[in-house]
Amino acid sequence: MEGHLPDVTGQSTRLIQAFREHFTARGFGEGTRIPLVSRHDPTIRFTNSAISVFKPLITRSASERLFLIQPALRLRNLSHWQRHGSMSGYGCYLIALGALDRPGSLADSHASFFSFARDRLGVAPQRLLFRASSLDEDIVAALTRRGIPHVLDDCEESRYRHQFGLPGITGRNSNLAVRTSVGFTDVGNVISIERESGEQVAVEIALSVSNLLCRVHDLTHPLLASAVSAALQVHPGGLMFLDALGSAVPLVMEHLEPTSRGRGGNLRALLKVLISQCTADGIDESTLLACIRVAAEAEVAIRQHVSPAAGALADRSASDVTAAMAAQLERMRATGH
């Protein structure tokens, strides 16, 4: 496959470090990451964003300023593939970047996100703008007051609304976009987190490593800027092969086993897609194992730079991930499930 990001490990770790330096310099503390296989929130199977870790802080008005670099998994693309047999615009696995600021920081957060992309990442300012809803006058005022380029969007209101899975908590967002060869594409959000009464309890900045790198480097899909794209040096597999591989590797890294239901059932579904895509893409067993090893090595290298773990998180090594996935795939082939 053409057009993937060269040196994805180096590019990802440099972006992570730039994010860390940017928010540390602004007085934010670094939070602690939690397992990808969620043990802290019964409403989700996997940690799906940085804000899912910060949920306890936003049930009250946030008094801390924190940032987090958190492995995350959302299964929307797997569901899209199962329903339609085609890829969505995103993969399932990502390294989420998030920052949580105090109430009243709406203008500062917009300026901080814009300067991070412009000054830390070197994105030309003419390639950057915020999209906001014309209904959100306070957000528009914050952007205008700081002289930040923006456009008003009169499309459906839902594009600028967030749900957090917390009773009585909602969010209104604007979106930072980067200009690519196909126009401006969103790379992240600034979100006013509020009670239903309208009281602001925090302001969040939310983005992901692979999506931002994808748009900055004008690639066609975020998977081509994620750890799993390292496997393309072994075999030019398709995007769904990459997504199944790149989502299964971190789950196996955290010792998840395929089962018939629950979290393990999601891993089993990913492995089934991986097997079917090996057939479709003409990938033999030895090539698949090489792809697993290279993807796991890239994931291990990037994980060394994410936020420190809360408690003892004993991630498997790349060689152990390769061996474990090989055994899991062999069992599934043998049983036909």
Q: CA 209 → CA 49, 248, 273, 311, distances in Å?
A: 12, 18, 24, 24
Residue 191 counted as domain residue: yes
> Whole-model pTM?
0.94
Same-domain status, 208 and 262? no
Domain membership of residue 82 as a residue range: 8-222
Residue 290 counted as domain residue: yes
What's residue 58's pLDDT? Answer: 82
Place of tokens 């690519």: 180
What's residue 155's pLDDT? Answer: 66
Residue 213 counted as domain residue: yes
What's residue 61's pLDDT? Answer: 62
What's residue 161's pLDDT? Answer: 92
Same-domain status, 135 and 236? no
What's residue 158's pLDDT? Answer: 80
Question: Looking at 222, 257, 272, which one is the last position of a domain?
Answer: 222
Domain count, the chain: 2
User: Using an 8 Å Cβ cutoff, are 222 and 178 in contact?
Assistant: no
CATH code for position 210: 3.30.930.10
Contacts of 117 (CB under 8 A, 6+ apart): 123, 128, 176, 178, 187, 212
Q: How far apart are CA 53 and CA 69, in angstroms?
A: 10
Beta strands 150-153; 128-133: pairing state: parallel
Same-domain status, 179 and 229? no
Same-domain status, 235 and 255? yes
Same-domain status, 200 and 265? no
Tell me the average confidence (pLDDT) per consecutive run of 10 residues in the chain, 337 residues long: 83 98 97 85 81 84 86 95 94 97 96 98 97 94 96 80 88 97 96 93 97 97 97 93 98 94 93 95 95 98 93 86 96 82
What's residue 2's pLDDT? Answer: 56
Which tokens belong to 73?
């998994």
